[in-house]
Structure 1
Amino acid sequence: MPLGSPYLAPSETWSDTSLLHALEEVVERELDRHLGVAKEWMPHEYVPWSDGRNFDGVLGGEAWAPEQSKVSEVGRVSLVVNLLTEDNLPSYHHEIATLFGRDGAWGTWVHRWTAEEGRHAIVMRDYLLASRAVDPCELERFRMRHMAEGFEHDHRHSVLHSVAYVAFQELATRVSHRNTGRESGDPVCERMLTRIATDENLHMVFYRNLLAAALELAPDPALVAIRDVVVDFRMPGHGMPGFERAAARMALGGIYNLRVHHDDVLLPVLRHLKVLELGGLGPDGLRAQEELGVFMGGLNDQAVRFDERRAALLARRRARA
């Protein structure tokens, strides 16, 4: 059914079910595009197996120590956060499958997305253990605690909120992986995370194109959902043990902070969708559009202040060193 078909009801009357049906054709088209451009790759090819050796424990190997890691300190912190985010995949799959369904093009996409994200967790864990990049005991304890708590994202209001959230979240994840690789200090790690970031970018494009179609079908409620997600955005790993402290170290290290969030995540998606330029909106859409503009201006001001504080702190550290 083409977008704009007279069969479609006005956007104000749309339920989640009718919107899922209306977007099914878009999902099918985007799924075909994704399968056509996604490249097969093997996790084991990105792991330095020759660096591996037994850990202490039942095999009587060597205990982990920080000096064994080739990865920078901020790289280790970020790698743990990124892996724990990927590890909670069963909870994410449950959330998205419950909302989008398991049948038809939607179901095919959900399962494909889950399989690709699972590959990311496999290669990251294998790399971390083979290269002794992080403390394996701490990593496993964090994993158990994080997965035991499960995941429930902040925007369960509607299909539109969920589509908007994953469009921004997939880009945020891609940026975090890419920057972690650059800051890691290990070329093997950077190569692996660049490969993962390529997948995350394809996932972002899928959801971003889906969100563009939703804006065409239901501009006012879609804009409201985008406003809600942008203003209250949190990464899916926010509930993991020690997340706030880890996020602060990642922010100072330049991996993910207010400037990165504004410039590399929110702004590119909003500009691509021309969210702040859309016309023909009703009262709700106009209000959401205005509030988005105000929020983005305020976020940029906060990013400027953060950049200044970060530069001053780093300068003091260099002086002490």
Structure 2
Amino acid sequence: MTLTAPEPTGIDLLSELEQVVAVELDRHLGIAKEWFPHEYVPWSRGRDFDGLMGGEAWRPEESGLTDVGRISLTLNLLTEDNLPSYHFEIANMFGRDGAWGTWVHRWTAEEGRHGIAIRDYLMAARAVDPVALERSRMEHMENGYQGDHLGNPLHVVAYVTFQELATRVSHRNSGRECGDPLAEQLLSRIATDENLHMVFYRNLLKSAFELAPDQAMRAVTDMITGFRMPGHGMTGFERASLKMAVGGVYNLRIHLDDVLQPVLRNLKVMERTGFGPAGEQARDELGVFLALLEDKAAQFDERLAARKAREAARRA
């Protein structure tokens, strides 16, 4: 009779993954490019707002962004603003020492740069209402952020793998739809960072499949079936998400084709062997969910096509 060693869990699993973290950290630092937010900000277009400086109050017609672009950049920035909560959650899970701690702080520093760059751009370009933006920031940060399944390290690794790619896609598509070439250039730069973050976590998740396949499979299934973007709790999120979905920034089809499937293919989730009963059950659940998601995405595609046809007919 052959006995199978139990999969490592908790602290033991984090300890075994730390050598992978060290390798991936070195790889990341060797690839990541230094860049500066101020170089992407149209400072010459800026002028004083009303208030203490006695400038001009913001007017919607000043914004050079499309409606969907303004909504997308605002939502993306508010999501980036909650970085202190994200750092707290991840640092508590992974620790502040060793390779894990070095990565957590490096990731936080890079993510912080994104919020700085987007806010400076929006203010200098007078692209959004500064008063409404600040009120939304205060409300969103006061509510904080608490992710799902944060007591399990593999659930966190699985979540950030998909979330970083989703954020990258959202930034990239926001740039394409915003109507300002400079904003598109900035968001493309930010999307490059987000992609590197995704690769870091994806490679870590790939190693977790070798160390604890059943747990990794369960984590992936739970995260995909219950996936929510980190900004889901902010006021007006559903309305903004609908605008972004119709505007081609982020919707079910994009979520499935550009986020879920690329990661699953890279991890070879559906072709892997070596799962126990728990892992096989989790993979079966994922397969059923993906089929349902494909049906919903197809329905969304049909509704969106019909909507665009009606809009084209009205313009004609």
Give the TM interval when normalised to the shorter protein.
over 0.9
TM-score with structure 2 setting the length: 0.97
> What is the rounded CA distance, in whole Å, between the counterparts of 2:196 and 2:57 in structure 1?
39
> What is the rounded CA distance, in whole Å, between the counterparts of 1:11 and 1:189 in structure 2?
52
TM-score with structure 1 setting the length: 0.96
Kindly tell me: are residues 103 and 10 of structure 1, through their superposed partners in 2, closer, same or farther at Cα, counting changes over 3 Å? farther
Please report how far the alpha carbon of residue 318 of structure 1 lies from its aligned counterpart in structure 2 after TM superposition: 2.4
Aligned to 1:211: 205
Look up the equivalent residue of 1:202 and give its one-letter code.
L
- Cα deviation, 1:76-99, whole Å, max 9, x if unaligned, reads 000011000100000000000000
Please report how far the alpha carbon of residue 13 of structure 1 lies from its aligned counterpart in structure 2 after TM superposition: 4.6
> What is the rounded CA distance, in whole Å, between the counterparts of 1:11 and 1:227 in structure 2?
23
Contact 2:8 2:211 (C-alpha < 8 Å) held by counterparts? no
- Cα deviation, 1:209-245, whole Å, max 9, x if unaligned, reads 0000000100001100100000000000101111010
Please report how far the alpha carbon of residue 10 of structure 1 lies from its aligned counterpart in structure 2 after TM superposition: 6.2
Please report how far the alpha carbon of residue 319 of structure 1 lies from its aligned counterpart in structure 2 after TM superposition: 2.1
Mapping of 1:126-275 within 5 angstroms?
A: 126-275=120-269
Look up the equivalent residue of 2:242 and give its one-letter code.
A
Contact 1:11 1:221 (C-alpha < 8 Å) held by counterparts? no
Contact 1:155 1:165 (C-alpha < 8 Å) held by counterparts? no
Secondary structure class of the residue paired with 1:275: coil
Secondary structure class of the residue paired with 1:276: coil
Q: State yes or no: 1:276 paired with 2:292.
A: no
Aligned to 1:298, which of 277, 292, 300?
A: 292
Aligned to 1:49: 43
Q: State yes or no: 1:85 paired with 2:73.
A: no
Look up the equivalent residue of 1:163 and give its one-letter code.
V
> What is the rounded CA distance, in whole Å, between the counterparts of 1:181 and 1:240 in structure 2?
22
Contact 1:68 1:133 (C-alpha < 8 Å) held by counterparts? yes
Please report how far the alpha carbon of residue 320 of structure 1 lies from its aligned counterpart in structure 2 after TM superposition: 2.2
- Cα deviation, 1:163-203, whole Å, max 9, x if unaligned, reads 00000000000000000000011000000000000000000
Report sequence identity in percent.
67
Aligned to 2:20: 26
Contact 1:12 1:221 (C-alpha < 8 Å) held by counterparts? no
Aligned to 1:119: 113
- Cα deviation, 1:94-122, whole Å, max 9, x if unaligned, reads 00000000000000000000000000000
Q: State yes or no: 1:285 paired with 2:289.
A: no
Structure 1 moving runs of 4+ over 6 Å: none
Look up the equivalent residue of 2:28 and give its one-letter code.
H
Contact 2:164 2:197 (C-alpha < 8 Å) held by counterparts? yes
> What is the rounded CA distance, in whole Å, between the counterparts of 2:5 and 2:18 in structure 1?
16
Aligned to 1:308, which of 302, 309, 312?
A: 302
Please report how far the alpha carbon of residue 11 of structure 1 lies from its aligned counterpart in structure 2 after TM superposition: 6.7
> What is the rounded CA distance, in whole Å, between the counterparts of 2:12 and 2:265 in structure 1?
28
- Structure 1: 5+ residue runs without aligned partners? 1-8
> What is the rounded CA distance, in whole Å, between the counterparts of 1:319 and 1:59 in structure 2?
47
Please report how far the alpha carbon of residue 298 of structure 1 lies from its aligned counterpart in structure 2 after TM superposition: 1.1
Please report how far the alpha carbon of residue 33 of structure 1 lies from its aligned counterpart in structure 2 after TM superposition: 0.1
Please report how far the alpha carbon of residue 15 of structure 1 lies from its aligned counterpart in structure 2 after TM superposition: 2.3
Look up the equivalent residue of 1:131 and give its one-letter code.
A
> What is the rounded CA distance, in whole Å, between the counterparts of 2:179 and 2:193 in structure 1?
22
> What is the rounded CA distance, in whole Å, between the counterparts of 1:263 and 1:243 in structure 2?
22
Aligned to 1:3: none
- Structure 2: 5+ residue runs without aligned partners? none
Please report how far the alpha carbon of residue 156 of structure 1 lies from its aligned counterpart in structure 2 after TM superposition: 1.5
Give aligned pairs, total: 313
Q: CA RMSD in A?
A: 1.1
Please report how far the alpha carbon of residue 46 of structure 1 lies from its aligned counterpart in structure 2 after TM superposition: 0.4
Contact 2:72 2:240 (C-alpha < 8 Å) held by counterparts? yes
Mapping of 1:7-22 within 5 angstroms?
A: 12-22=6-16
Secondary structure class of the residue paired with 1:237: coil
- Cα deviation, 1:135-173, whole Å, max 9, x if unaligned, reads 111100000000000000112140000000000000000
- Cα deviation, 1:6-30, whole Å, max 9, x if unaligned, reads xxx9674522100010001000000
Look up the equivalent residue of 1:103 and give its one-letter code.
D
Kindly tell me: are residues 10 and 33 of structure 1, through their superposed partners in 2, closer, same or farther at Cα, counting changes over 3 Å? farther
> What is the rounded CA distance, in whole Å, between the counterparts of 2:258 and 2:4 in structure 1?
34
Contact 2:7 2:211 (C-alpha < 8 Å) held by counterparts? no
Kindly tell me: are residues 274 and 142 of structure 1, through their superposed partners in 2, closer, same or farther at Cα, counting changes over 3 Å? same
Contact 1:74 1:253 (C-alpha < 8 Å) held by counterparts? yes
Look up the equivalent residue of 1:159 and give its one-letter code.
P
